[in-house]
Structure 1
């Protein structure tokens, strides 16, 4: 079995996160930056932008998320359940990667290549997915657990204001990460004959 396939199997959604990592905040930032810089994007547009939060900034993100979730929670009981999940599975980690799409870059692609204009939004989403997966694999290789969350667009405005982010950046996902305090559960797979087709001459 290839080392890459082994790494793919190692990458899982980890919800039991902690702060017991050996890397410094600067080293964690470099892991994320290097992974994203080397991912492909349509027309080499590099439309994926990222923000790495550790320490107090990481805590602030999830406090903002809880503040926004409380506004839309059905009742106190429902919010208490949500808070337990956010505190235990996300905020408990050592950091979070925020993935953004630069909408100005996407609009520039549409303007400069109108023949493909209808595709660039889809291709930008593919770019975010590729970048997030690359970071996820990089973190897994370093022995760091992570998951991918989507509290956007609920938290977009508050997060942009708190961290003074450009208005042309659109939040696409949040990846809390940290030490693996509890392993992922078993993973089920669809039957191969349901999911895959193979044809040859």
Structure 2
């Protein structure tokens, strides 16, 4: 089938080899990311997603924090070196978007709609996932590569302290992006028969 949106999300892939060879200005990228998140739907229009946009040296600072934190988890020098190299590859990008969910918003909805209280944390996860996907796809349309990482909660304390993040913001994911410096890995798909049921 031919569909512009499907074409875009099919082309959007995880790119691990990224760099700083981007034509877009920091201002343009910031505006793009903000609008992608603002236009992402959320339950009850809660708009609970929050983001910290780190560019250039600030992004590098984040990945250095992760690298230092992970040193204590390394089993030996070889694994430590591999982990360090991986963090350096993320730091080679031009930016990182830290995705958060505002727990005060979630709590407020739970209090306002007690019948749905147990669902709001789940729906908040839906909201941040949609915002992450929208941002990732928007960056792809600009010819940029990205990968979604999850080094929370081991870096949460340092992140909140370094960038003065409100404690009610819960870190959920990190989207690192930059110029495409290498191809995406091959992607396999399970059989449609195992994934979908269609009734007419």
User: Which interval holds the TM-score relative to the shorter structure?
Assistant: over 0.9
- The aligned length equals 199
**For residue 179 of structure 1, what is the aligned residue in structure 2?**
179
CA offset at residue 76 of structure 1? 2.0
CA offset at residue 91 of structure 1? 1.0
**For residue 30 of structure 2, what is the aligned residue in structure 1?**
29
8 Å CA contact 2:149–2:174 kept in 1: the answer is yes
**1:72 counterpart = 2:93:** no
| Distance in 1 separating the partners of 2:184 and 2:130 | 22
| Distance in 2 separating the partners of 1:111 and 1:144 | 41
**For residue 154 of structure 1, what is the aligned residue in structure 2?**
154
**1:107 counterpart = 2:107:** yes
CA RMSD of aligned residues (A): 0.7
| Distance in 1 separating the partners of 2:7 and 2:146 | 17
| Distance in 2 separating the partners of 1:79 and 1:109 | 43
TM-score, normalised by the number of residues in structure 2 = 0.98
How do residues 34-183 of structure 1 correspond to structure 2 at under 5 angstroms?
A: 34-88=35-89, 90-183=90-183
| Distance in 1 separating the partners of 2:138 and 2:115 | 36
| Distance in 2 separating the partners of 1:169 and 1:71 | 26
| Distance in 2 separating the partners of 1:145 and 1:56 | 18
> Could you give the per-residue CA deviations for residues 127-183 of structure 1, whole angstroms, max 9, x where no partner exists?
010000000110011101101000000010001100111011000000000000001
| Distance in 1 separating the partners of 2:183 and 2:4 | 20
CA offset at residue 32 of structure 1? 0.4
| Distance in 1 separating the partners of 2:63 and 2:87 | 7
* Unaligned 5+ runs, structure 2: none
CA offset at residue 9 of structure 1? 1.2
